Amino acid sequence: MTQNHNDGADAFAQDANTLAMPQHISPASNGDDLATVYTRTLIGVDAAAVAVEVHLANGLPCFNIVGLPETAIKESKERVRAALVNAGFDFPARRITVNLSPADLPKSGSQFDLPIAVGVLIASSQVAIPTLENVELIGELALNGELRRVRGALPCVWAANQSKREIIVPLQNAAEAGLVADATCYGAYSLLQVCKHLMGIAKLNRVLPVRLDNEPIYAYEDLADVKGQPHAKRALEIAAACKHNMLMMGPPGAGKSMLAQRLPSILPPFEIEEALASATVRSIADGDFQISDWARRPFRSPHHSCSSVALIGGGSIPKPGEVSQAHGGVLFLDEITEFTRHALEQLREPLESGYINIARANQSVRFPAACQLLAACNPCKCGYYGDDTNRCQCSAASLQAYQGKLSGPLMDRIDLHLKLSAVKLAELQKDSPPSESSVHVRARVIAARNVQLSRQGCLNSELSAQSVDPLLRLKPLDIAFLLKACEKLGLSARGFYRVKKIARTIADLDSSEGVERPQLAEALSYRSI
């Protein structure tokens, strides 16, 4: 893709040893004393353009950065100073002012190190670069002048490509940058390499695009490993066929976690646009972005002790939480009743809209959160309420408090409510024929999704309330049956329409043009909790 790490290390060592003052670099001079270098700052999933203006003036030596920089940017002064000296440059003993424009836009991240350092070199006339109008730079500097990985390189490369500019990134971000297939992007190992490239002395290797025409083969856990629970497997297939949210309630050892871990194995492969959107969020959230997983649907399973900020996202500089990092994939909340009620209630908006808006004093950002919620819990605190073999030890008040953590509005947004019972030990030992593998179930899921997309251009779960009814083709008697059943179950208007969507999904799996009574009954059976 680019030169490998070892080659870059060797090149840097050569520069450091033999170019104490490289021939192409002139001593500090008075020059124009002003330089402008272009870079990006992250605002949600977007990368806003920033002009780094560097001015050198006479007076007592000082180094000031203005333009709403956060702590990591303020600390870049010392990294830039050490990197310049250790790379063989002079650090100008003058009054240095760095302005990050636009000045009213909050800036965050360590990617400003490289553009600030290059700006200082140009302003002090240590390097002669014709123009940087069509070049953007991002990168954190080590004290020895090497470049280190930065968070959010993917959206920066994407935005630079949209602006018809080339961009230079740290070599460690090169693979990630290659996801933007038509971008003019270069990977660099050190500050000296960047300077030589910009001066036309030694060009960097262009990052080659990463193209995945076929889905990579991943070692998913197979649904065939689950013994028993045919009803649960059926519900899991329905959930996968239309991105329906699902709750599994059952005693310990019923197989809830095992089933959840196998949901990704029956989900359809990512489309390129979906994969890029999901990869963008992961690039922002995780500085150690794994290129090998870029086209794999995320499966996030946070511990129940996580805070609402960790689950939803936030912070003084808003970052995506677990619900956004699961964008395009699955958010699995095991022991959902052990999460704080405050955290759970904040899931209501993203589950409905597919986005999460985070407002802070300095800025408001919007993160994508179109994930599929899969939750699991015990029926009570001890776990054995309603179990045939173990006696429940919970009081009525304890049971009510435990199940009361799942509010009505939240339960309304969960399409499939599934009660599980423990599998008998004798059934586990029984030498029965192997159950259906994930490959076969996945084929039906893909076929059902293709039917939905060709019929209405979206999945059934994304249909509006007004557009559901024409797709059902219900008979008058079936309509009356549905209304009576929903009234008996006490469903809200939202729950009523979600039952219709589930029924339509079941009909798609059954290759049925309209929705019949058995499909309505099956859809209603998943609203029993």
pLDDT of residue 245: 96
Cα distances (Å, whole numbers) of residue 193 to 90, 110, 327, 528: 17, 19, 37, 64
pLDDT of residue 3: 46
What lies within 8 Å, CB to CB, of 413 at 6+ separation is 245, 347, 348, 351, 352, 373, 494
Mean pLDDT for the stretch of residues 189-213: 90
Burial level of 216, CB count in 10 A (0-12/13-18/19+)?
Answer: exposed
Cα distances (Å, whole numbers) of residue 87 to 15, 18, 80, 84, 191: 8, 11, 10, 5, 7
Asked whether 247 and 376 are in contact (CB, 8 A), the reply is yes
Assigned CATH class of 223-460: alpha beta
> CA 101, 105, 108 angle in degrees (round to 5)?
95
Residue 202 φ/ψ, nearest 5 degrees: -145, 105
pLDDT of residue 219: 61
Report the C-alpha gap between 289 and 173 in whole angstroms.
Answer: 8
Upper half-sphere CA count for residue 425 (Cβ side, 13 Å): 1
Q: pLDDT tier at 22 (50, 70, 90 boundaries)?
A: very low
Q: What is the architecture of the domain spanning 5-199?
A: 2-Layer Sandwich (3.30)
pLDDT of residue 285: 87
User: How many other C-beta atoms are found inside a 10 Å radius of the C-beta of residue 158?
Assistant: 22
Mean pLDDT for the chain?
Answer: 88
CATH 3.30.230.10 domain position(s) in the chain: 5-199
- Choose the weakest-confidence range: 52-56, 155-159, 268-272: 268-272
Please indicate whether residue 285 or residue 112 has the higher confidence score (pLDDT): 112
> CA 141, 142, 146 angle in degrees (round to 5)?
80
CATH 3.40.50.300 domain position(s) in the chain: 223-460
Structure tokens at 366: 């919007």
**What does the pLDDT look like over 353-367, one tens digit per residue?**
999 999 887 788 999
Report the C-alpha gap between 26 and 128 in whole angstroms.
Answer: 9
pLDDT of residue 360: 81
**What does the pLDDT look like over 379-412, one tens digit per residue?**
888 888 877 778 888 888 888 888 888 888 999 9
Report the C-alpha gap between 12 and 145 in whole angstroms.
Answer: 9
**What does the pLDDT look like over 477-494, one tens digit per residue?**
999 999 999 999 999 999
Report the C-alpha gap between 395 and 386 in whole angstroms.
Answer: 13
Return the axis-axis angle of helices 493-509 and 438-456, rounded to nearest 10°: 110
Residue 99 φ/ψ, nearest 5 degrees: -110, 125
- Choose the weakest-confidence range: 188-202, 244-258, 291-305: 291-305
Q: Is the pLDDT of residue 428 over 90?
A: no
pLDDT of residue 212: 59
pLDDT of residue 468: 92
Report the C-alpha gap between 168 and 177 in whole angstroms.
Answer: 10
- 3-state per-residue secondary structure call for 427-496: HHHCCCCCCCCHHHHHHHHHHHHHHHHHHHCCCHHHCCHHHHHHHHCCCHHHHHHHHHHHHHHCCCHHHH
**What does the pLDDT look like over 282-318, one tens digit per residue?**
899 875 667 777 778 899 999 999 999 999 998 888 8
